[in-house]
Amino acid sequence: MFVFNATDFDLAQTLDCGQAFRWKEQADGSFEGVAFGKLINFKQDGSSLYISGADEMEFNSLWKHYLDLEPDYGKIREDLSHLHPVLKEAAEFAGGIRILNQEPWEALCSFIISQNNNIPRIKGIVERLCLNFGEKIEFEKEKEFYTFPTAEKIAALTAEDLSPIRAGFRARYIIDAAQRVASGEIDLESIRKMEISQARHELMKITGVGIKVADCTLLYGLHRLDCFPLDVWMKRAMTVLFPDLTPQDFGKYGGIAQQYIFHYSRMHPELFNT
């Protein structure tokens, strides 16, 4: 275990704000999860981030980037705050959130599962997907850990094979996505560099992927910070809090603004009563 000094960062906000679904808070307040095929545990105490399960070299080469600890979010937050007073308030409220650099396929698959669904159930489906089709990586404390299954693995299955994960009508979407990704018809890494509209169009070739899931994949899986996913909460937030602004008004860090507004709105539902 070792410590990393992280400012403008809130671990719990970051891992529990709905952008990732495999992190579990432990009794001691730490977060345990699997990403990039590895088991890891993070714990925050003030600006100290304690890392267990990886050495410093692995942290520097992988996890620091995963948590997006490199960019100066303090500066980004300040720039965004000048745009609108309510955004300033949201940015202060949710300012510890960082946009994770998740694996693209995992993000795509997770946000297909997220549609017309709630977070506890999304987490359950993702967990059963990993349990049934991922690879067991470690055995510890009588717990088992599984990787997120690859697109290649899922591509070889049928929707019926997925019945144990209880994804419902989304099962065939998952298969379709896996087949297109595994075959190379959809190349997530090349989508990373495309114009937003073209990138969306590529992702929407997948059955069950519309604008919202495409945008979530771009922001959370391909780190396109200019992408501004609009779900029902964000549509409400735009109408009530930012009636004079459009998503593109938030600029190249619109995705971060979106995450601040989203988290702020979820934590203040009373703003949207009536």
Partner DNA sequence: CTGCAGGGGTAAA
Partner DNA sequence: TTTACCCCTGCA
Q: What is the binding site for DNA (CB under 7 A)?
A: 17-19, 114-121, 163, 166-170, 204, 206-214, 216, 229, 231-233, 262, 266
Least separation in angstroms between residue 88's CB and DNA is 22
Least separation in angstroms between residue 242's CB and DNA is 18
Tokens describing residue 242: 């930012």
The residue among 262, 254, 213 whose CA lies nearest residue 236 is 262
Q: Which is nearer to DNA, 14 or 147 (CB)?
A: 14
Q: Which is nearer to DNA, 75 or 166 (CB)?
A: 166
Beta strands 136-140 and 143-146 are: antiparallel
Least separation in angstroms between residue 47's CB and DNA is 26
Least separation in angstroms between residue 267's CB and DNA is 11
Cα separation, 31 vs 16, whole angstroms: 10
Q: Which is nearer to DNA, 119 or 156 (CB)?
A: 119
Cα separation, 180 vs 58, whole angstroms: 31
Q: Which is nearer to DNA, 34 or 108 (CB)?
A: 108
Q: Which residues contact 218 (CB under 8 A, 6 or more apart)?
A: 191, 196, 199, 200, 203, 224, 227
Least separation in angstroms between residue 32's CB and DNA is 19
Q: Which is nearer to DNA, 191 or 209 (CB)?
A: 209
Total number of residues shown for the chain:
274
Give me the phi and psi of 187, to 5 degrees please.
-110, 100
